[in-house]
């Protein structure tokens, strides 16, 4: 199950590390410091920061990433919500009365 916090994930920096999903974000920060040469070769997915792939494979990963659909759908929903709010917004601002007489 993808949502199971106890499932094991393989570390992208060291293949011998198997980390529980709930600890994975903390682990990759630590391992990035321990394996700087490997870290230079990996890029972070813009749709899910837990996805670390070789730089050469990033474009292919972005096209196939399962999280891309969620992000694009969320972005589209936010955009349509904003447009709907703009249509329904009515300004209640009124200019204050002018006390000046220029004549």
HSE-up of residue 24 (Cα within 13 Å, Cβ side): 21
42-44 vs 18-20, strand pairing mode: unpaired
CA separation for the pair 51, 71 (Å, rounded): 14
Residue 10 is part of which domain span?
1-40
Does 62 reside within a domain?
yes
| pLDDT one-digit tens code per residue, 68-96 | 877 777 666 666 666 666 666 666 777 78
16: three-class secondary structure by DSSP: coil
Tell whether 25 and 55 lie within a shared domain: no
Q: Is the Cβ–Cβ distance between 7 and 21 less than 8 Å?
A: yes
| pLDDT one-digit tens code per residue, 38-58 | 999 999 999 888 899 999 999
Work out how many domains the chain is built from and give that number: 2
pTM: 0.62
Does 83 reside within a domain?
no
């Amino acid at each position: 199950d993808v949502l199971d916090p106890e499932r094991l994930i393989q570390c992208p920096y060291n293949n011998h590390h198997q980390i529980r999903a709930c600890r994975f974000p903390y682990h990759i920060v630590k391992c990035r410091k321990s394996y700087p040469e490997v870290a230079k070769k990996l890029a972070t997915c813009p749709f899910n920061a837990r996805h670390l792939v070789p730089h050469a494979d990033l474009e292919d990963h972005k096209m196939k990433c399962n999280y891309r659909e969620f992000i694009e759908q969320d972005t589209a929903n936010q955009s349509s919500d904003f447009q709907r709010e703009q249509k329904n917004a009515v300004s209640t601002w009124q200019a204050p009365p002018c006390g000046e007489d220029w004549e």
